[in-house]
Amino acid sequence: MNQELVNYIEKSIYPLYERNDWAHQLWHIEEVVERSFKLAKDYPVNKEMVYVIASFHDLGCFVSRDNHEEISAHLMETDSFLQKYFSKEEIQVMREAIVDHRGSLEYEPRSIYGKIISSADRFTTVEGILRSTHSRTLEFFPELSWEEMVQESYQYIKKKYGKGGYAKSYVPNPDFDQFLIDINICLNDKKLFERKLKKVDKLLRKEYPVKMSV
């Protein structure tokens, strides 16, 4: 990895994630970068491109979560530093990979880079998906009752990661495979699901008492 590129990403791009909702801030990006490298190790890919894709993939969430992949891709492809560092062809591949990373994508990612970032963007722990999902509920729907909050998280997770859910991995991903087993145990036992969510709720309110107070 070129240190100049790393320094640029860490100093000029990562701080911008403070604009996003909690579930899409830097902690998430760093996890996805780590998983991307782990999944990419068996493929003949440019590790610096993998790094850039993972580092930019959620950058546009502060504008709109609904089409953040397009916004993030645009921010990446128009970045003046990256334009000098990578070729036009490489920029295009990275742009497509960022667009293709969403779990709800209706087609298979167009390149191995898209398959890697999409697969790396999947959660691998039950606590992780509960924290991410419930944080959004607390941040945007604080008026809901506890029962409604539980149902909100349950339905979202079931639709995405339950049996027949739309989220998938496009490359071998043992951590994700184990996660699907673990999360479906919780989805099949609503009392267990609620107990785990209650623990996460207490942690989130303690860590972010002002932003997430209701």
Taking the C-alpha atoms of residue 178 and residue 169, their distance in angstroms, rounded to an integer, is: 12
- Quick one: 9 and 103 in the same domain? yes
Q: Are 150 and 197 in contact (CB under 8 A)?
A: yes
Q: Which of 71, 103, 120 is the last residue of a domain?
A: 120
- Quick one: 135 and 104 in the same domain? no
**Residue that wins the pLDDT comparison between 212 and 169:** 169
Question: Can you read off the two tokens belonging to residue 65?
Answer: 């979560």
Q: Are 88 and 79 in contact (CB under 8 A)?
A: no
Taking the C-alpha atoms of residue 174 and residue 177, their distance in angstroms, rounded to an integer, is: 5
SS3 per residue for 60-110: HHHCCCCCHHHHHHHHHHCCHHHHHHCCHHHHHHHHHHHHCCCCCCCCCCC
Per-residue pLDDT band for 208 (boundaries 50, 70, 90) equals: low
Task: Give the model confidence (pLDDT) of 87-108 as tens digits.
Answer: 999 999 999 999 999 878 889 9
- Quick one: 73 and 178 in the same domain? no
- Quick one: 97 and 20 in the same domain? yes
pLDDT given for residue 209 in this prediction = 53
- Quick one: 31 and 66 in the same domain? yes
Q: Which of 97, 120, 143 is the last residue of a domain?
A: 120
Task: Give the model confidence (pLDDT) of 28-84 as tens digits.
Answer: 999 999 999 999 999 999 999 999 999 999 999 999 878 899 999 999 999 999 999
Q: Is residue 63 part of a domain?
A: yes
Q: In the chain, how many domains are there?
A: 2
- For 81-113, b/e burial (b = at least 16 CB within 10 A) is ebeebbeeebbebbbbbbbbbbeebeeebebbb
Mean pLDDT within 14-27: 91
Question: Can you read off the two tokens belonging to residue 3?
Answer: 């240190």
- Quick one: 47 and 148 in the same domain? no
Here the CATH number for the domain that contains residue 103 is 1.10.3210.10
- Quick one: 38 and 91 in the same domain? yes
pLDDT given for residue 67 in this prediction = 85
Q: Is residue 212 part of a domain?
A: no
Q: Which of 120, 155, 182 is the last residue of a domain?
A: 120
Q: Is residue 99 part of a domain?
A: yes
Question: Can you read off the two tokens belonging to residue 11?
Answer: 């100093």
Mean pLDDT within 8-25: 92
pLDDT given for residue 66 in this prediction = 80
What is the pLDDT of the chain when averaged over all its residues? 93
Of all residues in the chain, the percent with pLDDT exceeding 90 is 83
- Quick one: 104 and 143 in the same domain? no
Mean pLDDT within 16-32: 91
Q: Please, which residues have CB within 8 angstroms of residue 121's CB and are 6 or more apart in sequence? A: 32, 57, 101, 103
Lowest mean pLDDT among 4-18, 115-129, 197-211: 197-211
Taking the C-alpha atoms of residue 118 and residue 28, their distance in angstroms, rounded to an integer, is: 14
Backbone angles phi, psi at 33, to 5 degrees: -60, -45
Beta-strand (E) ranges in the chain? Answer: none
Reduced to 3 DSSP states, what percent helix, strand and coil does the chain have, rounded to the nearest 5? 70, 0, 30
- Quick one: 176 and 116 in the same domain? no
- Quick one: 32 and 7 in the same domain? yes
- Quick one: 43 and 138 in the same domain? no
Q: Is residue 213 part of a domain?
A: no
pLDDT given for residue 211 in this prediction = 52
pLDDT given for residue 200 in this prediction = 94
Quickly count: other Cβ atoms within 10 Å of residue 130's Cβ: 24
Nearest to 120, CA basis, from 71, 161, 176: 176
- Quick one: 142 and 195 in the same domain? yes
Location of structure tokens 């607390």: 138
pLDDT over 80 (residue 204): yes
The answer to whether the predicted template modeling score (pTM) of the entire model surpasses 0.75 is yes
Residue-number span of the structural domain to which 110 is assigned:
3-120
Per-residue pLDDT band for 213 (boundaries 50, 70, 90) equals: very low
